[in-house]
Structure 1
Amino acid sequence: MKASPVCTYDGANWIPGPLAKGPFPGLHGGVSGGLLAAAMERQAVDLGAGAGLQMSLSLLRPTPVAPVQVSVRTLRHGRRSLQLSAELTAEGKLCAVASALFLTEERLSFIPDRDVIPVAVGGAPFHIGRVTDAPWFFEACEMRREESGRIWMRHRNPVVEDMGGLTRVLSLADWATGLSRPEWVDRNRVMFPNPEITIHLQRAIEGEWLGVDSEPHWNPSGLGITTSDLYDTRGFLGRATQPVVLAVME
């Protein structure tokens, strides 16, 4: 049976379902980013562009669990590259903006093929302790953690119907900061949202699974960054970077 999407389209608005929520009030950042990525991927298909290999997402404010509007603008359309921007609004407020780069392949005979050594998805099922009594986006994802710390993840429920590769990667990679927090962090006292995430990919993702090797860098200043190497079952895929704002809840 085909899993229902996290968000559905009514012809004018995206309607978030219960699994769209984050651990705090509002939509999960991966859902907001996924909606923007999906809209830009659809525009890229309409324009005959290549694969989405870069995206920057800025989360300006919490997105309410309410009908969402997404608009896309073409910044530049060249022979092999397409640059788009997108905005997400809800209840009359701008909540998130994004830009993405789509690139078209062109075979180069002087670069030799590299042997593909498949990467196995391993590890035990990985769960986050209960952070909310309501359904949320974690339940729309399946995760496994290897002893090395690498976390493999895929969607149980797609963010939208017929997700493209950029949407899948961005919506999953946004988990990296939350899943890689240092062991000494009490998540009941410390908030650590990432107001931005940027991903760079060397090619389109293959298969359902995204592997994430993350390293957090947190400072006494209350600022930090999470850097992540991304993998699929073909091997190294790209990288993600997230600035982190740390705050103690009084």
Structure 2
Amino acid sequence: MTPLTILARTATENAGNVARRGALAAAAGGVLISTIATTAHAAPAMDLKTDVKTAKLNTADLQSLTAVAKQAVVNSRTVTVPINAKMPIEMEVLGTSSGSGAAGEGEGEESTAPAVVSVDAPDPVPVGQQAVNIALNYLGITYVWGGASPSAGFDCSGLVQYVYSQLGYSLPHSSGALLGVGYQVTYPEPGDIVWTPGHVAIYAGDGMIIEAWAAGMPVRYTEMWQNSPTFVRVT
């Protein structure tokens, strides 16, 4: 029981339908309190111990409060929401499901929330395989002694040097010096250097090599012909 409750009940006992609705709405919204604090026709202070049924407002005070409350109700902004209004909620999920949902969802309902599916990125291509892919672009380039570019031609070490330079590696233009780059392996993988005294080639996988092999002849893709070569891995 508060002064606000007493004023609201007293107003409803003494006012008509319009005044009653205005007073109750104003009391519920706190308007009546601000009116009591600021209006020149403020209701007199009341003792909380006074019986509610004996609390009375004179006609002037009641009319003043009713008018202010009614005006507050008229000026108040009203927000209406349709019964079938929906609030979309975005959810981040892995994968999708149908026919069942989380607790609280309807049986068989389909979710309209956007699904974020995690997709694994493809594995990067190994550097050695990249070297093979680049070398295949130069098949048919004529062997030229000392050549180290597509425009000037290639010798065996010039082809290896140029291919790996496209991948950011600086290799010597010498078959003998290429034996000392990287490290030696027993089983070759694509991109490894196939080294024999005086000659180098690029291992292409499956027993195949890419090489600049003889003066005036084109760079070729062929079966590995070397006997007991040394395999050098650059990376």
Normalising by structure 1, what TM-score?
0.17
Greater length-normalized contact order (CA 8 Å, ≥ 6 residues apart): 1
Normalising by structure 2, what TM-score?
0.18
Larger Rg: 2
Give the number of the structure whose residues are more often helix, by fraction: 2
